[in-house]
Amino acid sequence: MNIFRLTGDLSHLAAIIILLLKIWKSRSCAGISGKSQILFALVFTTRYLDLLTSFISLYNTTMKVIYIGCAYATVYLIYAKFKATYDGNHDTFRVEFLVVPVGGLAFLVNHDFSPLEILWTFSIYLESVAILPQLFMISKTGEAETITTHYLFFLGLYRALYLINWIWRFYFEGFFDMIAIVAGVVQTILYCDFFYLYVTKVLKGKKLSLPA
């Protein structure tokens, strides 16, 4: 495992922990898109079904279990425990416009036409756009809490680091996965505008706002 993969995993874990702590400490999920969190739970569920069929390493298995557990814990906090604070009026992105095309694409473009491989491919494609409901929600409300922007920053950083990881593996291991790279590029591009606002506003102590 190279340093980019490891720091990418840690950034991903940091994003998840930041979000969970934000919800738990404030006893509120205001400003958080429940739809994005459902999509991420679906991403982890379909990607890590290989937990039932193979063992790679203790680190690999532990991280997969943590991701799945935290994803469903977040969904539970939003839709059950702190449901009264959930801003459903602004979380209105039509997720079927993401899930259906992504599902179709996974059937058409994959490495191997087998159930587990199609589901893995589906998860890669879906993860690249799963943040859209959250970004859409921020654009509707016009602003985001600082802690929410930290969550988004680390989530975007994770994907950017993984993109570098794929490049590293290509040059030093000869490994090349076009599906993962293209999906990673798409996901990173979606974060570009947010990264700019994060650096120019949030890191300077200002509140992040987007045009509604």
Q: What residues form DSSP beta bridges with 144?
A: 208
User: 27: pLDDT confidence band, cut at 50, 70 and 90?
Assistant: very high
Residue (of 169, 149, 194, 159) closest to 40 by Cα position = 159
| Whether the Cβ atoms of residue 135 and residue 208 lie closer than 8 Å to each other | no
Instruction: Indicate if the pLDDT at residue 171 is higher than 80.
Output: yes
**How far apart (Å, rounded) are the C-alpha atoms in residues 57 and 31?**
37
Q: What is the pLDDT of residue 210?
A: 59
Q: What is the pLDDT of residue 209?
A: 65
**How far apart (Å, rounded) are the C-alpha atoms in residues 149 and 176?**
32
Averaged pLDDT of the chain? 90
Residue (of 12, 32, 16, 44) closest to 126 by Cα position = 44
For residue 206, give the DSSP letter.
P
Instruction: Indicate if the pLDDT at residue 115 is higher than 70.
Output: yes
Q: What is the pLDDT of residue 23?
A: 96
> Which of residues 76 and 170 earns the better pLDDT score?
76
Instruction: Report the percent of the chain where pLDDT is more than 90.
Output: 66
User: E-assigned strands of the chain?
Assistant: 143-144, 208-209
For residue 69, give the DSSP letter.
H
* Six-digit token string for 2: 């190279």
Q: What is the pLDDT of residue 208?
A: 67
| Whether the Cβ atoms of residue 73 and residue 41 lie closer than 8 Å to each other | no
Q: What is the pLDDT of residue 200?
A: 75
Residue (of 15, 5, 12) closest to 164 by Cα position = 5
> Which of residues 20 and 148 earns the better pLDDT score?
20
- With 0-12 / 13-18 / 19 or more C-beta atoms within 10 angstroms meaning exposed / middle / buried, residue 112 is exposed
Instruction: Indicate if the pLDDT at residue 195 is higher than 90.
Output: no
Instruction: Indicate if the pLDDT at residue 207 is higher than 90.
Output: no
What pTM, to 2 d.p., does this model score? 0.91
Q: Which of 26-40, 127-141, 193-207 has the highest mean pLDDT?
A: 26-40
Q: What is the pLDDT of residue 197?
A: 74
For residue 112, give the DSSP letter.
S
Instruction: Report the percent of the chain where pLDDT is more than 70.
Output: 94
Q: Tell me phi and psi for residue 50, to 5 degrees.
A: -70, -10
